[in-house]
Chains A and B, each alone.
Chain A
Amino acid sequence: MKKAMWTIFGGALLLYIVIVMVIAVGPAIDLAQTPPGPGVVPLTPLQEEGRQVFASNGCDYCHTLQVRPLPEDVPFGRPSAPGDFAYATPEMLGSERTGPDLTNVGNRRGEIWQYMHLYDPRAVSPDSIMPNFKFLFREVKAVPEGETAVSIPAAFAPKNGDKVIATQKAKALVAFLMSLKQAPIPGYKMNGGMGGPATAAAPAASAPAAPAGGYAYDAAKGKALFDSTCAACHQASGEGVPGAFPPLKGNAAVDNADPTLHLHTILHGAHGVTIGGVAYAGVMPEFGSQLSDDDIANIANYERSSWGNHAKPVTPSEVAKIRAAGK
């Protein structure tokens, strides 16, 4: 009588333990030893505190932290490599993208954008459905010594004229978000796809053949790239955000026969500019390492021909020339 019981339950338990050892625990022990990849470093104490804020508030339920070797993941960076996660504990690879992946967000957005977006996502992304994180900020009559007010567009700022300052938690969170930068792995491309994991032995991408009759600007591609790369700060209307991100509409650098400054800024970024006596505090990331000459030409031409701008189109070879000239 007892025998049947122990055969069934003991057998079922033992078989299960064996499978779990082989499929989960064994691989986990091995994978936990994965060495850090090139350029992957531990977080600073402030960034570590920010990761706690990120986890406590469940940011990971809507934002993944993994890039797949699939074409649709190209906007988020190169495919994630095993060595990227050596210091990523707790793991936050995530299971849903109600919002975009954040693996490489530190290379795409600046700090000022992050503060503004956390305070009210609608201030920079009108269609966003992310909750506001106003509880990470304080509203004060006067900005205390040593603090800086977060720049918020008037329509989204406190109605009573109070200034907004970031709490320690917000600063830590933004430090963590800014730390999310992929270290480049040369040749590590989207060639994994269905067939296998991403590999470093990427075949050299064949250079696109120059279209007969010279260069043609792809307006649809230019708009799509602008919307996904630039509109977060400069806005789809090209009007920017006062005090933070300059307008491109009627911008002297954009709407200019000489594209040097325009292309230089896209390639190498910018640190606070003053246009027409108005200071814009936002820091623009460099996009030279993230976008090809072709993409940058398409974006630049979209900007040069939209919102009433009428500047002469640029070609990918002009982009290449300015890229080669360096900073």
Chain B
Amino acid sequence: MAVTVESLPASTRSVTGKPGDDHALASVFKAYTISATFWLVFGTAVGLLLAFKFGAPDFWAEKYLTFGRLRPIHTNSVFYGWASLALVGCAYYVTVRSCGTRLYSVMLAKVGLWLFNIACAAGTIALDLGYNWGDLEYREWPWPIRLVFFVALAITAWNLLATIARRESKDIYLSNWYIVGGVLWTLVICLVAILPWYQKGLGQVAISGYFMHNAVGMWFTPLALGLFYYAIPKVLNRPIYSYALGVLAFWTNLLFYPMLGGHHFLFSPLPWWIQTTAIIASVGMLVPVFGGGANYLLTMRGRYHGRIESYPLAFLFVGVLCYIFGSAQGTVEALRDMQAVWHFTDFTVGHSHFTMYGFVTFAAWGGIYALLPLATGKRPGQFGMALHFWLATTGVAIYVISLSIGGTMQGLDWIHAKPFIQSVVDMKPYYLWRGVGGILMFLSHLVFVWNVWRMTAGKSGDAPSPVMEPEEAAV
């Protein structure tokens, strides 16, 4: 295989070499990671409480702790607090390093972080007080708060583009396509979600379908994939398998993903053509998913042993697998015959954790474990990373499997015209197992806090360098 210059992250070639710049970048990366970690622990603590309420509905049923107010607090905290901040922190590091330059503005990055945090905190408080914008999923925050998030995003876009503009090389490394693409598209998404002219009746339904899946697929997905394109070759110390395949995945993702939001409203009164287009686009998504997924796996080929020795790589590997299988599952779910069984059931909740947790969250963890030690010079402990990895992996497996089985039973109960309450009764054991998975996942987040502490403020641990030996040396 011909190794083009483009297929190597530029940081393996050059850095600015000024310690002041490195220190500034590390401080930005650290600040984003610490904020994100706070929102992860907060958001999943709320999630765990919600899981418990399925078995004990009268537990903490007071006004400010009622299920329906905490549920959007959970989803918005992990979306906008955890995953967004973790991925933006990584994105700053990846963009600066892959452009072989220094960050355009540390100040802008920090202002952006403040605004992101203010939006998340204000959004959480507003939802708990009962101020939401209808129960419009993932855009429940009142619009002025979402405007703050929009401004933070715009500042991030400006900072990243200005950084890329001052790069030394002619080419723009693929990671930056995904990262900047994701930020720019999300500016459009946020704007479309706020503009008032068509937010009425069925018009708002059309926007809900669009927003729900674009906020996932044109924000978290490109940021996580951009991170993969940098972190996987970096850790393995070898170039990406195929640059061209990455470019193909980029453009096909852009073509198909925006159109599939309607599959959240199959069999609804939305026009049938929107629903059918969404199904076709969902099938079309197999091209970027298998293309991109194969690219990552082929980059890892032959280094299977490394996946066990290197936990950063193990996290990235699970992230890639969940990207491929979680997305393929999404395609199958979008087919009308399958949707007739799974729609409205807990299977969907299993799917969203398979992807948002198994894919996006594992990608963020892999990126942080791979890159944060390079930025700060401090490493976590090997035991800490191992504990985190196995608790999280086991937890999410139990979570997804129990809700997938339970959700299927729920759907079949309805098809067999059983009284509705039967589907509630039949879900009880699966809700219990979901809680067990959730406990393991939450414990892993506490371990992650410890690991982040060691990579930032605390005492450096005993983990080996996240960058593996080059193959010649490893043989």
Contact = CB atoms under 8 A, between A and B. Distances in A.
Nearest to A17: B188
A19 B164 contact: no
Main secondary structure of the interface of B (DSSP, over half): helix
A25 B184 contact: no
Given A31-B202, A80-B268, A90 B133 contact: yes
A20 B181 contact: no
Interface string A88-102: 111111111111100
A91 B218 CA distance: 23
Nearest to A29: B198
Contacts of A17: 188
Contact of A32 (B61, B134, B200, B264): B200
21 contacts: A16-B218, A16-B254, A23-B261, A31-B202, A32-B201, A32-B203, A58-B68, A58-B69, A61-B67, A62-B67, A72-B414, A72-B415, A72-B417, A80-B269, A89-B200, A91-B208, A94-B135, A96-B344, A98-B424, A99-B424, A224-B417
B203 A57 contact: no
A9 B170 CA distance: 15
Interface string A5-42: 10011001101110110011101111111100000000
Contacts of B472: none
> Which 10 residue pairs of A and B lie closest in terms of their CB atoms, listed nearest first?
A58-B68, A90-B134, A32-B203, A56-B130, A68-B267, A24-B210, A60-B135, A28-B198, A227-B419, A97-B344
Contacts, number: 247
Contacts of A160: none
A322 interface: no
Interface in A114-167: 121, 125, 127-135
Given A31-B270, A129-B54, A57 B419 contact: no
Interface stretch (A170-178, A189-197, A276-284): A189-197
A71 interface: yes
Contact of B269 (A15, A61, A64, A81): A81
Given A9-B184, A58-B71, A121 B206 contact: no
A67 to B, nearest CB: 9
B202 A57 contact: no
A93 B265 contact: yes
A75 B261 contact: no
Contact of B268 (A61, A93, A100, A125): A93
Contact of B203 (A31, A135, A227): A31
A84 interface: yes
A70 interface: yes
B237 to A, nearest CB: 27
A13 B130 CA distance: 36
A24 B200 contact: no
A89 B204 contact: yes
Interface of A: 1-2, 4-5, 8-9, 12-13, 15-17, 19-20, 23-25, 27-34, 55-62, 64, 66, 68-72, 74-75, 79-82, 84-100, 121, 125, 127-135, 192, 194, 196-197, 224, 227-228, 231
B107 interface: no
Contacts of A5: 161, 164-165, 172
A34 B269 CA distance: 11
A75 B207 contact: no
A24 B261 contact: yes
A194 B172 contact: no
Classify chain B's interface size: 35 or more
A20 B258 contact: yes
Which interface residue of B137, B205, B258, B272 has the most chain A CB atoms within 10 A?
B205
Interface string B400-428: 00000000000000110111110011000
A57 B198 contact: no
Contact of B202 (A34, A127, A134): A34
A91 B136 contact: yes
B336 interface: yes
A24 B66 contact: no
Contact of A29 (B130, B136, B197, B250): B197
Given A57-B69, A66-B269, A128-B424, 10 more contacts: A20-B258, A23-B259, A24-B210, A32-B198, A56-B132, A58-B68, A61-B135, A91-B205, A96-B346, A131-B53
Interface of B: 53-55, 57-58, 61-63, 66-69, 71-72, 130-137, 161, 164-165, 167, 170-172, 177, 180-181, 184-185, 188, 192, 197-210, 212, 214, 218, 250, 254-255, 258-259, 261-262, 264-265, 267-272, 274, 277, 336-337, 340, 343-346, 348-349, 414-415, 417-421, 424-425
B421 A128 contact: yes
Given A31-B206, A61-B71, A131-B67, A24 B270 contact: no
Contacts of B259: 19, 23
Contacts of B250: 12
A190 to B, nearest CB: 11
Given A31-B205, A32-B202, A135-B63, A95 B57 contact: no
A136 to B, nearest CB: 9
A132 B136 CA distance: 23
Contact of A85 (B66, B201, B255): B201
A24 B192 contact: yes
Contacts of A89: 134, 199-201, 204
Nearest to B264: A95
Contacts of A80: 268-269
B130 A82 contact: no
B336 A31 contact: no
Given A32-B202, A34-B201, A59-B68, A20 B271 contact: no
Contact of A121 (B57, B63, B167, B181): B57
A20 B61 contact: no
B25 to A, nearest CB: 21
Nearest to A228: B419
Which interface residue of B131, B264, B268 has the most chain A CB atoms within 10 A?
B268
Contacts of B137: 95
Contacts of B177: 8-9, 12
A71 B57 contact: no
Nearest to B271: A27
Which interface residue of B62, B269, B344 has the most chain A CB atoms within 10 A?
B269
A92 B201 CA distance: 9
Contact of A58 (B72, B209, B214, B255): B72
Contacts of A94: 135, 344
B182 to A, nearest CB: 10
